[in-house]
Amino acid sequence: MKIAVGSDHMAYELKEIVKYHINQLGHEAVDYGCYNCTEVDYPDVAFEAAQGVKDNQAERGILICGTGIGVSISACKVPGIRAALCHDVYSAERAQLSNNAQILTMGAQVIGPEPAKKIVEAYLNVTFQGGNSERKVNKIIEKEKEFMEVHNN
């Protein structure tokens, strides 16, 4: 799988570790920045990476900032994207299995490299199967479409 990866400067080092780990797992990490510890605004990176996932340049995404909250909120502003903030293995699995989240977000000041690797593996090792969750995810998709139609007219 191609995985969009991005971070702000606060999470640059963890992003590099996660990117390497993704490649070691046999996936291809597509880096949307940042590319060093120079200050950047997390929404810029999150918007670009989320758009890349939406445009099928990557199948899923992993975004990291200090807490994971900012990149999660930002990525969810891209229509059609569901980003889930996860700091444990169970939540990462459920983000995909229950919510079909295309993007996983984490906080570099919340978790360290080893938990991050396990969370990434958990997220990438499962695939949305539908079932009862499909009905719920479809409600989210339909509400977003309805909202977009109302505000585009």
The residues spanned by each domain of the chain are: 2-152
- pLDDT for residue 107 is more than 80: yes
Q: Which residue has the higher pLDDT, 42 or 151?
A: 42
- Residue 151's pLDDT band, with cuts at 50, 70 and 90, is confident
Banded pLDDT at 20 (limits 50, 70, 90): very high
Average pLDDT over residues 82-87: 98
What is the rounded CA–CA span in Å between residue 152 and residue 150?
A: 6
Q: Can you name the CATH fold of 2-152?
A: Ribose 5-phosphate Isomerase B; Chain: A, (3.40.1400)
- How much is the pLDDT for 152? 81
Annotated catalytic residue 65: yes
- Per-position DSSP letters for 54-111, written without gaps between them: HTTSSSEEEEEESSSHHHHHHHTTSTT--EEE-SSHHHHHHHHHTT--SEEEEETTTS
Mean pLDDT value across the chain: 96
Residue 17 has pLDDT above 90, yes or no: yes
Residue 153: pLDDT over 80: no
- Percentage of residues in the chain with pLDDT exceeding 70? 99
Span 19-27, average pLDDT: 98
- Give the list of residues 6+ apart from residue 79 with CB closer than 8 angstroms, or none: 54, 144, 148
- pLDDT for 33-71, tens place per residue? 999 999 999 999 999 999 999 999 999 999 999 999 999
Cβ-based burial of 2 (10 A; exposed 0-12, middle 13-18, buried ≥19): middle
First to last CA, the chain: 37
This prediction has a pTM of 0.95
- Mean pLDDT over 20-45 rounds to 98
* Helical axes 12-24 vs 113-124, angle rounded to 10°: 50
Instruction: Tell me what the mean pLDDT of segment 117-127 comes to.
Output: 98
Catalytic residue among 34, 37, 65, 76: 65
Q: Which residue carries 């995810």 as its tokens?
A: 137
Work out the pLDDT band at 148, boundaries 50, 70, 90.
Answer: confident
Are 63 and 37 within 8 A, CB to CB? no
Q: Is the separation of the CB atoms in 63 and 85 below 8 Å?
A: no
